[in-house]
Amino acid sequence: MDVSEPASISSGIAARYATAIFELAKDGKKLKALEGDINTLEASLADSADFNALINSPIYTRAQQGEAIMAIAGKMKLSPIVKNTLGLMASNRRLFVLPQLVATLRDLIADEKGEVTAEVTSAKALTKAQSDKLAKTLKASVGKDVIIKSSVDESLIGGLIVKVGSKMIDTSIKSKLGNLQNAMKEVG
């Protein structure tokens, strides 16, 4: 059995819903509202174990999931497009793809705005000036506005690991030491 199959199925389901939501929001000139909804959903997915249990647990019936998600969407003040889509997803037992849906929508919105996200891992937190300079340098290379999503990994010792799309640049000292160690093994 191919273990990547369930992830690929989830991605396909999420992509179809995301494309539909995105096109409806774009046609209705509601991309700004959609972006706000995505931020709200993303924060809820990150912060609430109960919300994650609701969307992933098979013990809830379609009706229970639908009622709960509509109540939550109302409390979150989500736009009608997103609220109705969440209701449809609940009735089709597809709420489990919500994290992939949010990520796909974020990518579609960024693409529409001419932006790209760079995942930057550094040995210590980047200052605002460093982050801005890196974004400017990457913009010159990529040709789009760059949003920096940074994280800290002290095991890097120094330097950066930058991922933009399918490209990765690793200038960390940890990586350089690993390369040097491999070169020394080859000589001996």
Query: Which tens digits make up the pLDDT trace of 124-170?
Result: 999 999 999 999 999 998 889 999 999 999 999 999 999 998 899 99
Q: Which tokens belong to 171? A: 């200038």
Angle between helices 62-76 and 31-47 (to 10 degrees): 120
Same domain, 26 and 54: yes
Same domain, 99 and 123: no
**Domain that includes residue 67, residue range:** 5-111
pTM, two decimal places: 0.74
Residue 3 scores a pLDDT above 70:
no
Query: Which tens digits make up the pLDDT trace of 96-107?
Result: 999 999 999 999
Domain count, the chain: 2
Same domain, 122 and 101: no
CA angle 168, 171, 172 (to 5 degrees): 115
Which residue, of 111, 132, 158, is where some domain finishes? Answer: 111
How many alpha carbons lie under 13 Å from residue 25 in its C-beta half-sphere?
28
CA distance 53 to 1: 27
Which CATH number do you get for residue 12? 1.10.520.20
Query: Which tens digits make up the pLDDT trace of 31-69?
Result: 999 999 999 999 999 999 999 999 999 999 999 999 999
CB within 8 Å of 111: residues ≥ 6 apart: none
Same domain, 35 and 93: yes
